């Protein structure tokens, strides 16, 4: 029986080189015994939130944000009986999000010392020779056609972006950036800069690092990125932050978002679980609404080497408590990666073969992209860090900018998001569904390896994987994203 091993969608390792959103304040809650807890309160689909707001206030809740577009409230309360008291007419469901955060795995950092035109030459960037990932997806050829349009904005739903980084300062759409930590947007620049994690800065560099004679190149340096911070200072992504992030992207004209994370401490969010279902409903509503507003979402498949098409048992969740063993089935999904319409991305290393850690699944993975594989050369140990992905970094201790390596499906997803941004630049008439289909159609098919695949046998049989399918298969989906084909 296959078990899911609990790992986050964040970088597996790091080595650094050097909404029309209504925000309301409810009545002050009466005295109540219990810690302050955040809740998602859902009104019936399509109905006004007025009665839900009234019920939440009457149940001693403070309404932090009202997302009328999707009928979802973010409420805080110290009332231990809030869930029971808020139930009634005007409220479809309610869920506490306490303990529902998913942590980012930051890995090790070692610093290096001494270090918007429509077309660009990325090969002249000082560190381009170490970016094996960019030639793999034909970025130089694409940039000869277009490096992307500044009218295209990619929302980086992550841990923030360093606004002072020399490869990113010119690339950030500051007027479209915000922190959604807590469930309501904060547009102050300090709020959406990184505090305890440089994960979002690395992701942003892969998408759009400038061609400016400094550092690295991004896949689409002609486009803009918006920092949409959804990771709190403890490294957790709570459902209310993700909902806020999707709505913010929808209401601020973003064409693409990158989502290198999953929601909930359970890697699989089960629709048939009474506690998890309201979270699943709220996230689904937010994703569907943003898609209707022209946003394509791109997401990581995960770092658990798990077959997402054949779910049986989850033995490693939740990540913020004592792991439990529970049976799972097709009602249990990785969010946002398995939400309808989201482009789900697996990872490959320098050879173009599936990275040892990358999750997969026939009918789940849509495309693949470089995410790094530091173990294949040695079959497991030790690692070769130059086989990871080089991008922009921010040292959260010294508060200094730099460049460095990370690996994971967190790194493959922004490559695909960058290709989608290039495609949106070249074909602005496409809606999200058409754009997703185009990115898949222009991908280069990759064949399944024969038999049981394990590039790291010295790490053990837990990295065994079997690929199924033909031209479109469980390891690679429609194939390797192709930046050049996407702009032709």
Per run of 10 residues, the mean pLDDT along the chain (length 488 residues) is 37 45 38 81 95 98 97 97 96 85 46 51 96 98 97 98 98 98 97 97 98 97 98 92 98 98 79 87 96 98 94 75 81 91 98 98 98 97 95 96 97 98 97 98 98 97 97 98 97
Annotated catalytic residue, options 77, 143, 149, 158: 158
Active-site residue identified among 410, 412, 413, 425: 410
The C-alpha atoms of residue 27 and residue 189 are separated, in whole angstroms, by 29
Tokens of 25: 């304040």
Which pLDDT score, from 0 to 100, does residue 103 have?
Answer: 53
* Rounded Cα–Cα distance for residues 171 and 418 (Å): 13
**How many alpha carbons lie under 13 Å from residue 283 in its C-beta half-sphere?**
29
Confirm whether 199 is a catalytic residue. yes
User: pLDDT by residue (tens digit) across 76-124?
Assistant: 999 999 999 999 999 999 999 876 555 544 444 434 433 344 688 999 9
The order of strands in the sheet holding 343-348 is 178-179, 224-229, 153-158, 256-259, 296-300, 343-348, 367-370
| Cross-strand bridge partners of residue 370 | 348
CA distances from 147 to 104, 295, 426 (A): 30, 20, 10
- 469 — alpha (psi -120 to 50), left (phi > 0) or beta? left
Predicted confidence at residue 394, as pLDDT, reads: 97
Q: Catalytic residue among 13, 167, 191, 199, which?
A: 199
133 given a catalytic annotation: no
Strand partners, 14: 406
What domains are defined for the chain? Answer: 3-18+103-487 (3.40.50.200), 37-100 (3.30.70)
pTM over 0.75: yes
* 81-114 burial code (b ≥16 CB/10 A, e <16): ebbebbeeebbebbbbbeebbbbbbbbebebeee
Place of tokens 């089935």: 329
Task: Locate 263 and state its tokens.
Answer: 């929601």
Neighbours of 129 (CB within 10 A): 9
User: Is the link from the previous residue into 337 a cis peptide, with omega within 30 of 0?
Assistant: no
Q: Which two tokens stand for residue 266?
A: 């359970």
What is the pLDDT at residue 326?
A: 82
- The Cα 412–Cα 389 span in angstroms is 9
Residues near 323 by Cβ (< 8 Å), separated by ≥ 6?
Answer: 6, 315, 316, 317
Q: Is 410 a catalytic residue?
A: yes
Q: Distance between CA atoms of 161 and 203, rounded to whole angstroms? A: 9
Which residue bears the tokens 């200094």? 400
């Amino acid at each position: 029986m296959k078990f899911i091993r609990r790992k986050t969608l964040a970088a597996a390792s790091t080595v650094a080189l050097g909404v029309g959103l209504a925000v309301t304040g409810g009545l002050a809650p009466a005295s109540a015994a219990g810690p302050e807890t955040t809740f998602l309160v859902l009104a019936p689909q399509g109905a006004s939130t007025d009665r839900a707001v009234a019920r939440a206030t009457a149940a001693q809740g403070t309404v932090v944000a009202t997302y009328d577009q999707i009928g979802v409230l973010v409420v805080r309360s110290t009332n231990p009986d809030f869930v029971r008291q808020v139930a009634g007419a005007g409220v479809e469901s309610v869920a506490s999000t306490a303990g529902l955060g998913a942590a980012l795995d930051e890995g090790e950092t070692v610093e290096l010392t001494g270090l918007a035109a429509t077309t660009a030459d990325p090969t002249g960037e000082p560190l381009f020779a170490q970016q094996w990932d960019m030639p793999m997806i034909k970025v130089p050829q694409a940039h000869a056609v277009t490096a992307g349009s500044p009218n295209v904005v990619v929302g980086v739903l992550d841990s923030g972006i360093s606004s002072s980084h020399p490869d990113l300062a010119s690339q950030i759409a500051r007027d479209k950036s915000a922190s959604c930590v807590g469930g309501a947007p904060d547009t102050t620049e300090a709020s959406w800069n990184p505090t305890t994690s440089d994960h979002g800065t690395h992701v942003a560099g892969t998408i759009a690092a400038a061609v400016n004679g400094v550092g690295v190149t991004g896949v689409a340096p002609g486009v803009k990125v918006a920092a949409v911070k959804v990771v709190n200072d403890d490294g957790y992504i709570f459902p209310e932050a993700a909902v806020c992030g999707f709505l913010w992207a929808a209401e601020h004209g973003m064409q693409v978002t990158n989502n290198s994370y999953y929601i909930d401490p359970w890697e699989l969010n089960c629709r048939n679980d009474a506690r998890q279902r309201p979270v699943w409903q709220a996230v689904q509503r937010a994703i569907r609404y943003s898609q209707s507003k022209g946003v394509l979402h791109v997401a990581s498949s995960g770092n658990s080497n798990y077959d997402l098409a054949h779910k049986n048992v989850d033995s490693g969740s939740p990540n913020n408590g004592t792991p439990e063993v529970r049976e799972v089935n097709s009602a249990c999904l990785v969010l946002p990666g398995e939400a309808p319409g989201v482009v789900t991305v697996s990872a490959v290393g320098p050879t173009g073969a599936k990275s040892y850690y990358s999750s997969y699944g026939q009918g789940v993975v849509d495309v693949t992209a470089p995410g790094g594989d530091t173990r294949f050369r040695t079959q497991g140990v030790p690692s070769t860090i130059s086989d990871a992905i080089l991008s922009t970094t921010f040292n959260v201790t010294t508060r200094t900018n730099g460049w460095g390596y990370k690996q994971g499906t967190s790194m493959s997803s922004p490559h695909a998001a960058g290709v989608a941004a290039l495609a949106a630049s070249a074909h602005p008439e496409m809606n999200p569904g058409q754009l997703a289909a185009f990115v898949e159609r222009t991908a280069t098919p990759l064949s399944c390896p024969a038999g049981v695949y394990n590039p790291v046998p010295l790490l053990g049989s837990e990295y065994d994987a079997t690929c199924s399918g033909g031209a479109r298969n469980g390891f690679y989906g429609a194939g390797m994203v192709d930046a050049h084909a996407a702009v032709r």
